[in-house]
Amino acid sequence: MIIKSDPDIIKSFLEDNSGLRGGYVKEVSFPESTEEVSLILSKANKERVPVTVAGNGTGVAGGRVPFGGLVLSTERLNKNIEIKRLDDKNGKAKVHAGAMLKDLKEAAKKEGLLYPPDPTEDTAYIGGNVATNASGARGFKYGPTRRYISGLKVVLADGTILDIKRGESFAKERLLNLKEKTSIKLPSYTMPSVKNAAGYYIHDNLDAVDLFIGQEGTLGIISEIELDLIHESGDILSFFAFFDSDKNARNFASALKRNLKEALSVEYFDINSLALLKDKFPYIPDAEAALFFEKEKSKDDIDATLEEISGSLKKNGAFYDQTLFAQNENEYKKLFDLRHGLPERVNEIVKANGFPKVGTDIAVPEEGLDSMLSLYKTTLERSGIPYVIFGHIAECHLHVNTLPSSEKEYNHAKEIYIKFVEAAVKLGGTVSAEHGIGKLKHKYLEKMYGPKAIREMASLKKAFDPNCILGVGNIFPKELLNKAGD
């Protein structure tokens, strides 16, 4: 097994895409098998050495940034991706945690199959996707990573290897019994009924596999993964439409959601997002808002669908002649680049500003979306801090990115964030719909579930990791682990 302590190599493991700074660690281990992961953990556990698991560092919540101990990199846990077709519609894949999302997608595609979750950044590792329950642009139709996980090998802090399959072990009245661990008490909170990646996934009859999805490296290290694949249906119908008013864009989004249930994604861009994109894509018209839409193309209903979309665009104040429809691969790529151009522009501005962006990941129930959006806009306009609002409008999950350029603005943006969190929680929403809590959003999670629930989460962690060596500082603060009941 390879262990590196060269500062130049370690440096790249002290960060992720969150902008969290100050991480430090003495060495990074690169296990090549589940058994090697187990050896590293059992030694670290005996010596009480904290272990931070690293995927490929594309996370945006500081989860893989270490503060002491050692880093266990999953980079070399990347043996062959095995793909098996089960019938003409479905398949299975077996991968190790360090398999890259883009490699899995390519391998599946070669067999005419699709791995549906699409969390944009395809250099992420599958282990990282599972640990954060990543979702993405096509989450409206396909849902998050969780939906496609049928089995996991997880190494616990003491080196025990769990081999769990979906459908085999369930909690009963919030008590979970596994072969290797019994009487595990689950927290008592109720999760909101919106897209959600905040804290542990808990419900009365929890499937044990689900507990390890979205646990952000705090309960065990995911080393091997069995995934479900679906039939790759091929052609996509997509367009980018621009609107004369925000209200019209939102009405159109609701109409698409209502009438075209098979939509893959409906993404919203506010006026500020369009202004940023215009620097790079000057053909964007002077619009108040835009929507990006995708749907699988079916030969049988394509004419009717196009007719319905065209009628609805005209009725809802879209700049019909400037709507960008993608009819072939090249045109689709152009729309895709436009949609993905925004995070890139935001990152460029953040770099130039020299201050991190303050980005929300809030989702609310459908009936709360209008009031949430109006709160975002009035508060941010009043603040004078530059911002963009964009994202998964069909799932009522919009990202607000404020772009401060001074300490004062940065602190103000963080205060505003708290205000948004409080409003979302009141509406029955979540503080994190897809990115997780990591080391940056503890206090928001507490606002969402309350202090008792956070203590219960810490106790659950201790049931799997009594010496508290794994993913310390992720999901809840380190100090809480000392207080949580054993």
Ligand X SMILES: Cc1cc2nc3c(=O)[nH]c(=O)nc-3n(C[C@H](O)[C@H](O)[C@H](O)COP(=O)(O)OP(=O)(O)OC[C@H]3O[C@@H](n4cnc5c(N)ncnc54)[C@H](O)[C@@H]3O)c2cc1C
Cα 387 from Cα 275, distance rounded (Å): 11
453 lies in the binding site for ligand X (CB under 6 A)? no
Say which amino acid occupies 22.
Answer: G
435 lies in the binding site for ligand X (CB under 6 A)? yes
Within 146-175, the residues that bind ligand X by CB under 6 A are none
Cα 192 from Cα 307, distance rounded (Å): 37
Q: Whose CA is closest to 74, among 224, 214, 213?
A: 224
Among 50, 116, 136, 368, binds ligand X (CB under 6 A): 136
Taking the complex as a whole, how short is the minimal distance between the CB of residue 60 and ligand X, in angstroms? 5
SS3 449: helix
Cα 66 from Cα 14, distance rounded (Å): 6
121 lies in the binding site for ligand X (CB under 6 A)? yes
Rg, Å, the chain Cα set? 22
Taking the complex as a whole, how short is the minimal distance between the CB of residue 461 and ligand X, in angstroms? 13
Chain-centre distance for alpha carbon 241: 26
Instruction: Using the rule CB under 6 A, give the single segment among 171-179, 264-272, 434-442, 476-484 that binds ligand X.
Output: 434-442
Query: CA geometry: angle at 196 spanning 367 and 222, to 5°?
Result: 170
Within 203-232, the residues that bind ligand X by CB under 6 A are 216-217, 221-222
Of 127 and 317, nearer to ligand X (C-beta) is: 127
Among 29, 38, 45, 56, binds ligand X (CB under 6 A): 56
Among 471, 472, 481, 484, binds ligand X (CB under 6 A): 471
360 lies in the binding site for ligand X (CB under 6 A)? no
Cα 57 from Cα 380, distance rounded (Å): 30
Tokens linked to 218: 């705090």
432 lies in the binding site for ligand X (CB under 6 A)? no
434 lies in the binding site for ligand X (CB under 6 A)? yes
Of 317 and 435, nearer to ligand X (C-beta) is: 435
Tokens linked to 77: 């846990």
97 lies in the binding site for ligand X (CB under 6 A)? yes
199 lies in the binding site for ligand X (CB under 6 A)? no
Within 234-253, the residues that bind ligand X by CB under 6 A are none
In contact, 178 and 164? CB cutoff 8 Å: yes
441 lies in the binding site for ligand X (CB under 6 A)? no
What x/- string results for residues 284 through 323 when contact with ligand X is judged by CB under 6 A? ----------------------------------------
Of 248 and 432, nearer to ligand X (C-beta) is: 432
In contact, 390 and 266? CB cutoff 8 Å: no
Taking the complex as a whole, how short is the minimal distance between the CB of residue 216 and ligand X, in angstroms? 4
16 lies in the binding site for ligand X (CB under 6 A)? yes
Show Cβ contacts of residue 81 under 8 Å, excluding neighbours closer than 6 positions.
Answer: 93, 94, 95, 99, 103, 104, 107
38 lies in the binding site for ligand X (CB under 6 A)? no
380 lies in the binding site for ligand X (CB under 6 A)? no
DSSP assignment of 394-433 equals GGTEEEEEE---SHHHHHHHHHHHHHHHHHHHHTT-BSBS
Among 29, 38, 132, 316, binds ligand X (CB under 6 A): 132
Taking the complex as a whole, how short is the minimal distance between the CB of residue 35 and ligand X, in angstroms? 15
Of 56 and 360, nearer to ligand X (C-beta) is: 56
DSSP 3-state percent helix, strand, coil across the chain (nearest 5): 40, 20, 40
119 lies in the binding site for ligand X (CB under 6 A)? yes
Taking the complex as a whole, how short is the minimal distance between the CB of residue 211 and ligand X, in angstroms? 12
Cα 9 from Cα 113, distance rounded (Å): 37
Tokens linked to 70: 């050692």
Of 152 and 287, nearer to ligand X (C-beta) is: 152
37 lies in the binding site for ligand X (CB under 6 A)? no
Among 57, 116, 214, 359, binds ligand X (CB under 6 A): 57
Tokens linked to 366: 């459908």
Taking the complex as a whole, how short is the minimal distance between the CB of residue 18 and ligand X, in angstroms? 8
64 lies in the binding site for ligand X (CB under 6 A)? yes
17 lies in the binding site for ligand X (CB under 6 A)? yes
Alpha helices in 47-163 (DSSP H): 101-110, 126-132, 139-142
In contact, 216 and 471? CB cutoff 8 Å: yes
116 lies in the binding site for ligand X (CB under 6 A)? no
Instruction: Using the rule CB under 6 A, give the single segment among 56-64, 366-374, 449-457, 476-484 that binds ligand X.
Output: 56-64
474 lies in the binding site for ligand X (CB under 6 A)? yes
Strands 175-176 and 27-30: unpaired
Of 108 and 156, nearer to ligand X (C-beta) is: 156
In contact, 361 and 432? CB cutoff 8 Å: yes
124 lies in the binding site for ligand X (CB under 6 A)? yes
Tokens linked to 155: 């190494």
Side-chain-facing half-sphere of 211: CA atoms under 13 Å: 33
Among 125, 293, 376, 464, binds ligand X (CB under 6 A): 125
Strands 82-85 and 113-114: unpaired
Give residues in contact with ligand X (CB under 6 A).
Answer: 16-17, 52-60, 63-64, 74, 97, 119-121, 124-125, 127-129, 131-132, 134-136, 216-217, 221-222, 343, 434-435, 438, 471, 474
